[in-house]
Structure 1
Amino acid sequence: MSSARQPFSFQRSGRTTDLSLPSNLSCKEDLSLYNGLRDAERKLDWTLSRKVMEVQDSLNKTMTRRRTLRVYVSHTTRNQSWQNSEEETPAVDFDSGKGIPSWELRVEGKLLPGPSDAEDSTSSLPPPPARKFSTFLKSAIIELDRDPRIYPEESIIEWHRNPSLPPEDGFVLRRRGDFTIRVRILLHLDHTPERCQVAASLGDVLGLRQGSRVEVITALYQYIKLHGLQDKIDRRIVKPDDALRRAGLPETFPFQDVPSVVHRFLHPSEPATILHTITVESGASSSTTAYDIEIDMDDREYKSRIRDVLDRLAPTTDTRVARLDHEISETTQAIRASQLKQQFFQGFAHSPQTFISDWMASQSRDLETILGNDRGVPDELMRRSDFFRLPWVDEAVVVHESMRVAGTLPAYQSK
């Protein structure tokens, strides 16, 4: 979808429309009902536009939803002594590893469906593609507890996400060995927004051990407000109480420096730790264990549904409203024309002679204006001599002479 999508709004059509009715209509009751409907429409338009703008603004913010990531840890064994028959002795190839006792560890995962996913199943929209397991991780570390003198292969295996590489559904680790070993798996989750570990000194005071940077800053803001730690004279200064000073905060600091003060107490969040035992004894050729881990993630599906609703709603609503406004405008114009006819015939019926005289005088003035014979000065003033002794006469002479000189100036310049 293009990022240059125009914001949705309940706009009227470009043509000029007048939906108002004259206030002197004879049907007062119907006029009041119509004006009431127009007021209700304006309020509804304002409310809908405000709500739509709020929804559009929310698309630019991080919408977090806590989901459950199920991690499957399994292992299989190969070429163990109990897996080979006594009559058959497999050929050993140290280069390819054939015939050498070994095991294979698999770490896979998937996102469990949430409550809203059940509602999405009834939607006509196609479901979004499932995300790969590695997209939920920043890094993964596998630590093997075994003697390096017997197994020289590295015992700590690390994986870090590389944006240039395609995502993976899981990780596979193969090693040689015929002893039971313990494995520790560390998964650094990619929370959205990023979660941080709060230092114990400040976390005990705020009652918060882990959270996003915004959550920790908000918690400290609320603590300052709740305990009245702002200076009574200068509200821009914060004076921490004994608990905050013991946690390591300075004696005083500006209120706007709360984010920078909090930043010193934030550390990377602890990884999710999974302990697993790889058993190679008889009867334990394979084993699978599932672990559920909570993860905060950006609700992309919800944002996508909002965009789809806005895209479908905008053109339909604008077209229908424009069509109805045009129909209402034509009706109001017809009502105003009918009212003029009514006033015309009522005036004629009340006093035909006076009405015809006034009407002919009005038509004469309009005709003079159209033909350019209207001097713009009433005849009564034209008959008074003192009217031509007013200051406007001098100003008119200056303007007239200026226009005359300006008209003859090009002729002198051309000579």
Structure 2
Amino acid sequence: MSNLSGGFPSRNVRGGGPVPAGSTAVAGENGKVPLTASKQTNPTPTTQPTDTYIPTHLSELVPELKSYEQLKESEKRVDVFLARKRIDLQQSVSQWNNSKSGIVTSHNKNDVKYLRIFVSNIAENQPWQDENNDIQNASWTMRVEGRLLDAQGVQDSTRPKFSSFLQAIAVDFKKPKEDDDDENNEDSKGEGGPKTENQDVDMDEPKNESLIGLSLPMQMPGNPNDNNIQEEKPKSDIADAVEWHFDPINPVDFDGLDIKRNGSENVECTLTIQLKGVTGERLEFSPELGSLIGLSQGSLHEAVYSLYKYILINGLFTSGDNNLRNSANGSTESTTGEKTVVKLDPSLAKLIRQRPVPGSDEPLPTTLRLSEILKLVNIHVSPIRSIKVDYTVRVDKASTYGDLVFDVEVPNFTKQPKDEDEVKREGLSLLSDFNKLTTDLKPQLQELETRNAALLLQLNASAKKYQFFNELSKNPVSVLQEYIASSSNALKVLSGDEGFNEDTVRRSQFYKDNEQMLFESLGVLLSNGRM
């Protein structure tokens, strides 16, 4: 033992000698295992260098080390990002597995098509068409039809009909301003459909087009037997109303809706169209919110997330709590230290001005809590409104076909929505691909880390050589003297010729006074494999 410790005494100290590696400690009478009898653990073998420390003074000598440190910081950020994404993906898959079965819908532009709607009318037996004709025979026919803008032909039996996109449609005819006399009203169907008495419809359309009309009975506001009218129309404005609602029990498919009436004067009306699929999670955003996030419609989640991205990109998060409302309810920062206060810029201030604050004289705030974003968005969203178009039935022209045409967005029914099981499979497949890619890249990354560690060791060795020769060039005499003294001391340590008084080494003061010398001695022994 004295040879290994540079002259330390070899007597056994009180408490017994060390237990050989691999032996089992035995408890004493009191049931406790002696501290000196604990099992020793062999060092873990390694085949690559582990010393990758770079001295700070090398950054001035090697400018590229600053770039290396930046690369290490970027690597840490990438590792954190990938770890977070993996956790998010695992949580999403777990939520899909625990959620109820359902349908996952999407509102991407690829899942949207356009429905082109035509509103027109024709005039028949008008006085300007035949002066000898009786004015009582004058009539007009209003047509509302729609076609999906796609590549399918008109005669294709699988082509979706106009009615398949509608939940309801209504036409409100207003009273004439000068003549309030009652007119004999008559409903009709499109081509190919049965016609009631006194009907004679001849549209300016090819006969082979499938325009299925409907028999729509006249619905007056005061008719107690009418159950189709959802809202009571003002008697002072509405003279006649025609409505159709989708019946899931007895669905009717049609491409066009014809309404025929007697009359020789222009009639103003309002067309209201309620599309299918607009009463769910799809919402309409206010102009103030829409101009800020760049969306006019979407889900509540899309609105909140888009507004959060706007705040994040523009750097509106702040740690100040000035002018915060309800500041006594809690702190402005979470327990994790993240900023939860938003500074209001002019665009966000427009949203705040829309908030109803009845009877309050408080000035507009300049900051807002992040937790209040959802409440703010809820004020600026509403259900998608019905499509309303004002139209004038003109009897001074034979046909107004093409005068009023507009397009509306409709869901793409040909693209079936993904069921939840398919989404789960896609999530599991994505997670599996992520794990497989990580496993495949792990050996390559390990090899790069080994090469990097070897290069760092060479750099440290070169740095030590540079430091020695640099000092030698500045002051050769003192450096050589210090080198000879250090080498002589190392020789004594390795040969065990340096002796110490046994009574002296038993005192703690000896180790305090000779800390530097003992540190160097231990370094010599470790570097030469003697310990």
Q: TM-score, normalised by structure 1?
A: 0.45
Point out the structure with the larger helix share: 1
Q: TM-score, normalised by structure 2?
A: 0.36
